[in-house]
Amino acid sequence: ELAVAAVQTAKKFTADVEFSLVDSFRANSQEVVELVRAVIDAGATTINLADTVGCATPQDVVQLFQKLRQEVEPFDRVVFSIHCHNDLGLAVANSLAALLEGAGQVHCTINGIGERTGNTALEELVMVLATHSSRLGLQTGLHLEQVYPTSRLVRRISGIGMAPQKPIVGDNAFVFETLVPQLSDSTEVPPYEIMNPEQLGIYTTGYRLTPSASWEQFQQRIKELGYDLNPEDLGECFQAFQDLAAKKDIIFDADLELLVNERAFKDQVRYKLLYLNVTAGSISVPNATVQLEVDGQVIQDAGFGHGPVDATFKTIYKMVKRAPKLVRYEVNAVTAGTDALGEVVVRLEESSRQANGRGVDTDIVLASAKALINGLNKLEYGGKQEAVFEFTDEESFLPRL
């Protein structure tokens, strides 16, 4: 009765109503059928079956969908959907099973991010369908060349990294041993590659800019990477490129992307890092001297810590008179080599608010300071949301007291 009433209320506002059944694959299948019939009669146009705790197997999915096909008539008068969690690593397999049994919609997330172990990874499911399209007869209509750039964008914004072995978009997804036997005569896809990386927007040609690259070459490469910047932002990025070129002999695409993301997509700032000098080693006590601009006023201070990063963070906290909890601290090398850009991601929490900060530099300590300042500015202006809580699908519809 509650389900029917909810659908009827929703129909007053829109013609397209999706009804989700929590924990569908552990429930009594006959009760699921009866509930589905009732909400369809009430006006639901999409029926979403949720594997809320991620315990279903492809066989479970097939059995429930086959029962619905037999007992809900006509089956195709609504769109059936599936929502999978990846607790057993079967989210993509379960979603594929649902599609093969007549589902017309799948709930997915980029990079599979989500509660606990995540949800169905859009890029994995899409490439299964694309790779076997002739046999499966299923198409998505998505622009596949945007798969990898979108994955990187989500990683940058969310601050959530991934294992190198992550299918499709992981750093090792298209890395093969050099001594494997060459068994394929195909000229379209290299031996042992079942997908063309360029099809996904992954360009493995190793395109590089040298320090002597001209303004025209830089501008052209930025356009080729998919960025459309105004003259002011492009000028700032070129200056950053020249600064980086003074430290590195070769500038990779990944370096350029980070430079663009750091300078072209700016947040409001209350705090600005002007100067950092750190002393550390096996004998001296780690200390940091920091100069900041806070609300337009230049201030400077120094402090000690258990290491160069700790000394830097403690000094900055003292200067800004706030000390949010450091929930996460992660360092990644953007490219190979000791002169590689280092990317530092931090997550700060203060008064039930969270914000991610990101900093990039060839100096890891300086990158860490930039990340902290970036996070503090986001807490100041953009971190007004409550900290992320983990809900089950059912709890997410309930008010949090």
DSSP 262-290: HHHSPPP-SEEEEEEEEE--SSSPPEEEE
**3-class secondary-structure state, position 232:** helix
Mean pLDDT for the chain overall: 85
Whether residue 25 is found in the same domain as residue 119:
yes
Q: Residue 297: its pLDDT value, please? A: 94
Give the CATH number for residue 288.
3.30.160.270
Whether residue 299 is found in the same domain as residue 372:
yes
Whether residue 66 is found in the same domain as residue 139:
yes
Residues of the chain falling short of pLDDT 70: 175-192, 203-208, 264-267, 382-401
Is 174 domain-assigned? no
Whether residue 218 is found in the same domain as residue 297:
no
The parent domain of residue 38 ranges over 2-158
Whether residue 10 is found in the same domain as residue 48:
yes
* Rounded distance between C-alpha atoms, residue 309 and residue 51, angstroms: 43
Q: Residue 31: its pLDDT value, please? A: 95
pTM of the predicted protein model: 0.71
Is 188 domain-assigned? no
With the CA atoms of 67, 68, 71 and 72 taken in that order, what torsion angle do they form, in degrees rounded to the nearest 10?
A: 180
Is 234 domain-assigned? yes
Whether residue 35 is found in the same domain as residue 145:
yes
Give the CATH number for residue 29.
3.20.20.70
Is 173 domain-assigned? no
Q: Residue 185: its pLDDT value, please? A: 52
Which tokens belong to 283? 């004998």
Q: Which of 98, 133, 158 is the last residue of a domain?
A: 158
Name the domain count of the chain: 3
Q: Residue 386: its pLDDT value, please? A: 43
Sort residue 301 into left (φ over 0), alpha (ψ -120 to 50) or beta: beta
Whether residue 255 is found in the same domain as residue 116:
no
Is 397 domain-assigned? no
* Rounded distance between C-alpha atoms, residue 182 and residue 173, angstroms: 19
Which letter does DSSP use for residue 179 in this model? T
Which letter does DSSP use for residue 178 in this model? T
Strands 251-252 and 208-209, by their bridges, are antiparallel
Is 49 domain-assigned? yes
Which letter does DSSP use for residue 119 in this model? B
Is 395 domain-assigned? no
What does the pLDDT look like over 23-41, one tens digit per residue?
999 999 999 999 999 999 9
* Rounded distance between C-alpha atoms, residue 239 and residue 370, angstroms: 18
Q: Residue 66: its pLDDT value, please? A: 96
Which tokens belong to 9? 């209320």
Q: Which of 124, 143, 158 is the last residue of a domain?
A: 158
Whether residue 248 is found in the same domain as residue 315:
no
Whether residue 38 is found in the same domain as residue 141:
yes
* Rounded distance between C-alpha atoms, residue 51 and residue 275, angstroms: 51
Side-chain half-sphere exposure of 209, counting CA atoms within 13 A: 27
Is 193 domain-assigned? no
Q: Residue 391: its pLDDT value, please? A: 37
Whether residue 255 is found in the same domain as residue 275:
no
Whether residue 302 is found in the same domain as residue 333:
yes
Q: Residue 281: its pLDDT value, please? A: 86
Q: Which of 125, 143, 158 is the last residue of a domain?
A: 158
CB 325 within 8 Å of CB 346: no
Whether residue 97 is found in the same domain as residue 144:
yes
